Structure 1
Amino acid sequence: MRRSSIVPRITASYQQYQQRAWYSDFGHLSARKQSFIPSSGTYPHGFRASGVACGIKKNNNKDVALVVSEKPCSAAAVFTTNAFKAAPVLVSQATLKHNNNKDIYGVVTNSGCANAVTGQQGITNAKRMQAIMDELTGHASSALTMSTGVIGQQLNMDKLEPGIRKAYEALSADHDQGWLQAATAYMTTDTFPKLMSGEFTLDRTSFRMAGIAKGAGMIHPNMATLLGFIVTDAYVAPALLQDTLKYAVDRSFNAISIDGDMSTNDTICALANGASDVRIESPHDPAYPLFRDSLTSFAAELAQLVVRDGEGATKFVTIHVKGGSSFESAKQAASHISTSKLVKTALYGQDANWGRICASLGHSGVEVDPSKVSVTFVPTDDSKPLPLMIRGEPEVVDEARAAEILKMEDLVIEVDLGLGQSDAKFWTCDLSHEYVTINADYRS
C-alpha cells in the first residue's frame, strides 16, 4: 500500500471552541474552560469506555474509569522516576514486562486515592484491581492499573471492587455515555475533564486516536507526568509503540510544568488494537515517522489541556527556546525557565520583569553566551511581538504594551540562544494565590 502524509482531522481539538457544549455538571466554569469540553468525538474502533462513582471520593463524584478493547492491544507506557513509585505503577510495569508489551485489553483507573506509599497491602490491592479485570475480560494479565488522589491511604476495596464491576457493565462506545464519563472519573482537583479524539488519514486509509488525561497540580516531568492514556485502532508493533510513545511524551507530557513537583503515580500509556487497516511494523516503514509525528501532536494538545487547568492558573504560557545547540539543551533551558517561581509569580502579577527570565536561563545548566541571547514577548492575537533584549542588549521596553500583552490569558515567551538550529517548547502557567489555597487544604 502506497503511503503518503497523515492529515489529522481532530474532532475534539481544544482550538475548536464553537463545537463545544456547556454541560450542566460544569456550568459553574467560565465560558473559556467550558470551551475545552468536547461535545462529540470520533473514537477508535473496538474500544469502549465508562466512568462511575463507587464512593472512594468523599463527594460521591465519579471515581472509577475503564477503557477496554475488544481485541488484544500492543501496549506501551512511561512512568514516574520518583523513588516512591505507587503500587499501580509497579504492577503496570511488571505487567508490561510479563506480556512483552502486548495482549493488553484495557486500563482500570481509580481517583480519590493514590494507593501510593502503601506498602505490601497497596501492591495486593493494585493486583486485585487487575485480577477483577482479568475475570471480566476473560484474559490473564489483561489490564494496566492507575490510581490518583491522596498519598499514604489504602484503597477501600470493599467499595472499589463493586465499582469496577459496575464500570464494566456501563462500558460504551458513545461520547456522552462512555468517553466523557471516563474522563470525568479521572478528575481530582481538575476543574474540567480532559478528553480528545481524532481521525487521521494515511493515504486513503483512516485510523483514529482518543486520549484522556488528568492533572492540575504536582506536575513536572521526568520520564512521565500525571495520568493519561492514548488509544488507537492502528496496529503498531509492541516495541515500536514503546519507542513512539517515549518520543511523543518527551515533546508533550514531558514538556509541561505547573509547580515543579513530580507525583508518585505519573503514568502515560498507549494501546493500539489494530481494528483499522493501518499497520506499522517497522521503523523503516514510510508511515512510521508520520504516525509518530501525529501521535506527538495529539499528545501535545492533550498535555496542554493539563496546563490550562493548572491549580489556580490564570495564564497559559509557552516557553519557546530557539537557537539551541541541541534539542536536549533547548528543552533543559525551557524547562528551567518554566519552573522558576520568580518568573511564574511575575507573570501572575502581569509584571514584565524579563530579567527574571535571563537570571533563570543563566543558571539552567545549559551553554549560554549572554551576548547572543534575545528575549521576546509574542502575543497570541497575531499583534506585533515585543522585543525585550536583542543579542544581549536590552531594549527600551514599552511598559504599557508589555502590560497589555501580559493581561492576555495566552502568552509566548521566545528565548533565542543564538547558538544553533535546535528548538524546544515547554508549556507552563503562572503561580497564583489560589494555588497555595488549594494545596494547603488538599486533604480536608
Structure 2
Amino acid sequence: MITTFESLKRISSKNIVSPKGFTATGIHCGIKHKKKDLAILVSEVPANVAGVFTTNVIKAAPLVLTKQVVKEYGKMQALIVNSGNANACTGTQGYKDAETMQQLTAEKLGIAKELVGVSSTGVIGEIMNMEPIAKGIAEITPNATLEGAIDFAQAILTTDTVTKNTAYSVVIDDKEVVIAGVAKGSGMIEPNMATMLAYVTTDADIEQQALQQLLKEVTDVTFNAITVDGDTSTNDTVLVLANGLAGNATLTPAHPEWETFKAAFHAVSQDLSKMIAKDGEGATKLIEVKVEGAVTDEEARKIAKTVVGSPLVKTAIFGCDANWGRIICAVGYSGATVDPTDVKIQIGSTSVVEKGEPVPFSEEELIVYLKQNEVKIAVSLNQGEGYSTAWGCDLTYDYVQINATYRS
C-alpha cells in the first residue's frame, strides 16, 4: 500500500478537532479518583461512520451498541467515552447502562440517540456507577480548541503513559481535506482488535461503504499489525467519522484522487498504531519487524506478528541481547511457509543470518544498536512477493508490576 505522497502534509497541532466541524473535550466526572475519565466528540452535522471491532467472542456492552449504530444506520454525530470501567461482562445491566449513556448524550445535544456511539475502557466485570457518568454528561461541553482535544485524549487513557494524536492534510478537488486521529492503548494489545480505542475524524466527503472498506483494508496492515502482550480485549474499537464539510466531490475508489486520501488515512492509522506499540505497559523500546519474500502478504504478516510478539524476542531486546536464535525460532513456528536454507535476518543494518546460517558480526556494535529506543528487525525468505510490517515493544519488569497490581 502506498503511504507517502508529495501532497501529504502532517499538521503540527495534530488533534481530532483539526478537521472542520468537530468539537471535543474531556473531564473528570468521578469514575476514577482524580484523572479525567469522561470524553465527548461531536460533529456539527451527522457524519458517515465506519467501524472495526474486537474479534473476541466476549464483547463489552458499549461495543455491541456502537457496532449496531455503525451497521444499521451508517451515521454518527456524537461519541461518548468513559475510562476506568470497561462495562464488559456486566450482563443485561451493562447494556442498559450503555443505552443510558447514549440516551443522555443524545438529549444533551438534541439529536437522535441512533446518532450516538458509546465506548468504555477500564476494569472488566464491574457494574458501572452511573451517577457520576450522568452528572458528567450533563456538565461536559465540547469545543473546537486544542485544549479540548487534549482533554479528550487524556480522558480516554487507562495505563497509557502518553496521549496519542496525529493529523494530516491533503488537497482534493482543490479543497483542503484533513484527517486526524486519537487513540489509547498500552496493555492487553493483540489487535484483531485489542484493548485499544482509536477514533479518526475527517471533513472529507466520502461514501460510507467506501469508508468502511478502506478502514478494513488499512486496519489489517496497521492496527492489526501491532502486539504488546498477545491479549485481545473485549472493548477494542476503531471508529471513523467523515462529515463532508471540506466540500470535495464525494470520494469513492473511482475518484481520481482516491489514492491521495487513502495515503493520508493510512498514515494516520499507522502513526497511531506505532504510538500504541511504543507505549506498551513498561515498554522501553519500539520493535519493528519487516518481512519480505513470503509466499503472500498474509503469511508475511503472520511471521512479522509472531516475531514481534514472541516473549523471548521481546525480553532479548529489553536485555540488549543479540540472540538471533529467538528470532529465527519464531519465524519457524509462525505457521507460514519457510525454507530454512533461504532465511536471512538483519538486526538494524547488521546481518546475523544468511541462507539460514550464522554470519560473523560484531556483538559489541550490535549491543550499542540494541540500546536505542527503536529496534528494527528484517526477515527475508525468498519464497515469493509477500511483504508486511508489524510493531511491538520489549517486555520489561515493569510490565509484570503494572499488570500484577492493576486492580489494587
TM-score range, shorter chain: over 0.9
Contact 2:17/2:23 (<8 A) preserved: no
Corresponding residue for 2:375?
411
SS in structure 2 at match of 1:235: coil
Distance apart, 1:291 and its partner CA: 1.4
In the TM superposition, what whole-angstrom CA distance separates every residue of 1:92-146 from its partner, at most 9, and x where no partner exists? 11122221x12x1021100000000000000000011111122122222111110
Pick the aligned partner of 1:436 from 390, 400, 408: 400
SS in structure 2 at match of 1:276: coil
Greater Cα shift, 281-290 or 262-271: 281-290
Pick the aligned partner of 2:288 from 309, 318, 341: 318
Corresponding residue for 1:202?
172
Distance apart, 1:42 and its partner CA: 7.3
Pick closer, same or farther for the CA change 1:408–1:268 going to 2, 3 Å.
same
Is 1:155 matched with 2:125? Answer: no
Pick closer, same or farther for the CA change 1:415–1:275 going to 2, 3 Å.
same
Distance apart, 1:210 and its partner CA: 1.7
Is 1:222 matched with 2:195? Answer: no
Pick closer, same or farther for the CA change 1:111–1:128 going to 2, 3 Å.
same
Distance apart, 1:286 and its partner CA: 2.2
In the TM superposition, what whole-angstrom CA distance separates every residue of 1:337-373 from its partner, at most 9, and x where no partner exists? 1111111011111100001000111010100011111
Query: Which amino acid in 1 is paired with 2:393?
Result: C
| TM-score normalized by the length of structure 1 | 0.88
Corresponding residue for 1:185?
155
Corresponding residue for 2:330?
360
Query: Which amino acid in 1 is paired with 2:67?
Result: Q
Distance apart, 1:398 and its partner CA: 1.0
Contact 2:106/2:116 (<8 A) preserved: yes
SS in structure 1 at match of 2:302: helix
Pick the aligned partner of 2:143 from 172, 176, 181: 172
SS in structure 2 at match of 1:428: strand
Query: Which amino acid in 1 is paired with 2:80?
Result: V
Distance apart, 1:39 and its partner CA: 8.3
SS in structure 1 at match of 2:345: strand
Distance apart, 1:324 and its partner CA: 1.5
Is 1:286 matched with 2:256? Answer: yes
Query: Which amino acid in 2 is paired with 1:288?
Result: W
1:211-360 equivalence runs, <5 A: 211-223=181-193, 226-360=196-330
Contact 2:8/2:260 (<8 A) preserved: no
Greater Cα shift, 325-334 or 430-439: 325-334
Is 1:105 matched with 2:77? Answer: yes
How far apart, CA to CA, are the structure 2 residues paired with 1:127 and 1:427? 36
Pick the aligned partner of 2:44 from 70, 82, 91: 70
How far apart, CA to CA, are the structure 2 residues paired with 1:152 and 1:41? 30
Contact 1:307/1:316 (<8 A) preserved: yes
How far apart, CA to CA, are the structure 1 residues paired with 2:72 and 2:254? 27
How far apart, CA to CA, are the structure 2 residues paired with 1:53 and 1:6? 41
Pick closer, same or farther for the CA change 1:40–1:335 going to 2, 3 Å.
closer
SS in structure 2 at match of 1:333: helix
Distance apart, 1:238 and its partner CA: 0.9
Distance apart, 1:234 and its partner CA: 0.2
Corresponding residue for 1:7?
7
How far apart, CA to CA, are the structure 1 residues paired with 2:163 and 2:243? 24
Contact 1:215/1:310 (<8 A) preserved: yes
Pick the aligned partner of 1:46 from 11, 21, 40: 21
Indicate the RMSD between aligned Cα atoms, in angstroms. Answer: 1.5
| TM-score normalized by the length of structure 2 | 0.96
How far apart, CA to CA, are the structure 2 residues paired with 1:373 and 1:203? 46
Query: Which amino acid in 1 is paired with 2:54?
Result: T
Contact 1:105/1:137 (<8 A) preserved: no
How far apart, CA to CA, are the structure 1 residues paired with 2:234 and 2:184? 14
SS in structure 1 at match of 2:292: strand
Pick closer, same or farther for the CA change 1:82–1:406 going to 2, 3 Å.
same
Distance apart, 1:224 and its partner CA: 6.0
How far apart, CA to CA, are the structure 2 residues paired with 1:197 and 1:78? 20
Query: Which amino acid in 1 is paired with 2:297?
Result: F
How far apart, CA to CA, are the structure 1 residues paired with 2:252 and 2:186? 36
Contact 1:11/1:42 (<8 A) preserved: no
Greater Cα shift, 73-82 or 216-225: 216-225
In the TM superposition, what whole-angstrom CA distance separates every residue of 1:148-179 from its partner, at most 9, and x where no partner exists? 00000111110101112222x2x111102x10
How far apart, CA to CA, are the structure 2 residues paired with 1:372 and 1:247? 30
Is 1:89 matched with 2:63? Answer: yes
SS in structure 2 at match of 1:312: coil
Contact 1:108/1:130 (<8 A) preserved: yes
Query: Which amino acid in 2 is paired with 1:45?
Result: K
Is 1:114 matched with 2:89? Answer: no
In the TM superposition, what whole-angstrom CA distance separates every residue of 1:272-293 from its partner, at most 9, and x where no partner exists? 0001022334322222232122
Contact 2:192/2:224 (<8 A) preserved: yes
Gaps of 5+ in 2: none
Corresponding residue for 2:35?
61
SS in structure 2 at match of 1:7: coil
Distance apart, 1:301 and its partner CA: 0.5
Distance apart, 1:326 and its partner CA: 1.3
How far apart, CA to CA, are the structure 2 residues paired with 1:278 and 1:195? 25
Query: Which amino acid in 1 is paired with 2:400?
Result: V
Pick the aligned partner of 2:106 from 107, 117, 134: 134
Aligned-pair identity (%)? 40
Pick the aligned partner of 1:146 from 119, 135, 144: 119
Contact 1:223/1:250 (<8 A) preserved: no
Distance apart, 1:196 and its partner CA: 1.8
Query: Which amino acid in 1 is paired with 2:259?
Result: P
Greater Cα shift, 204-213 or 409-418: 204-213
Contact 1:133/1:142 (<8 A) preserved: no
Gaps of 5+ in 1: 13-37, 379-384
